[in-house]
Homo-oligomer: A and B are copies of this chain.
Amino acid sequence: MFENIRIVLVNTSHPGNIGGAARAIKNMGLSRLYLVSPKEYPADRAVWRAANALDVLDNAVVVETLDEAIGGCALVVGTSARDRRIPWPLLNPRECGERVWQESASHDVAIIFGREDRGLTNDELHKCTYHVHIPSNPEYSSLNLAAAVQVLCYEVRMASLVDAEGLIPALTEWDVPPARAEDLEMYFQHLEQALVDIGFHDRDNPRQTMARLRRLYSRIRLDEMELSILRGVLTAIQNFAFKMKKLTGSSENK
């Protein structure tokens, strides 16, 4: 099950933190590290801090975009230090460990960590099923990146140990597999376009429409069949808008 868990570091500045994260990952029995556009990598400092976890570094997958890193995952948890304008379903680290461990039995999951100085962007956080917040001193809350990886991987390991004692209930049985991150992302693109087409949404004045819709659909944990139905609905809406435009000679959208 540990093999289905990806630790994703986004846009890391200091290679030492990549090494420290690799070590924490291996210490806790995990192995899969994804690096999204690291600023400086490969680097000697990463190797130095990784100590005997060089295999984790060697097998790390370096990608350009977050979407590539979470492709295939049906659960994506994003670390968040701040209160967001739009609150997202939030886990504490213990709940995160339990959920990640549970779901890793049936599909790939990812925990994503942001930049040392600014964390994850709102766009990145809106790709997540859940957010997780490590409780910290309100007056000094900026955990070192490798330390944050350590805490969340530790909670996954603790969950696995508690699970071995039969204390974590199994996930509810479900007839259809959960939708994967890339399919959800395509759906959100499709949804936004459809909303533009019908004049509901203005990309030049987006307000929080898409963020709220992303949160809503992320919370449902759509399965593949449901997603396919929703996309069918969008296509139907777009066909309707297209015919309207042809009939009236203009879109309702200014």
Q: Which residues of A are interface residues toward B (Cβ below 8 A)?
A: 20, 23-24, 26-29, 51-53, 92-94, 134-137, 140-144, 146-147, 150-151, 154, 157-158, 161
Contact = CB atoms under 8 A, between A and B. Distances in A.
Contact of A136 (B27, B52, B140, B147): B27
A154 B149 CA distance: 12
Given A135-B157, A158-B135, A140 B24 contact: no
A140 B20 contact: no
A52 to B, nearest CB: 6
5 contacts: A24-B144, A27-B142, A29-B137, A94-B158, A147-B147
Given A142-B51, A144-B51, A27 B137 contact: yes
**Copies assembled:** 2
A147 B51 contact: no
A205 to B, nearest CB: 38
The 5 closest A-B pairs by CB, nearest first: A29-B137, A147-B150, A27-B136, A26-B140, A27-B143
A26 B139 CA distance: 9
Given A147-B147, A147-B150, A151-B150, A27 B157 contact: no
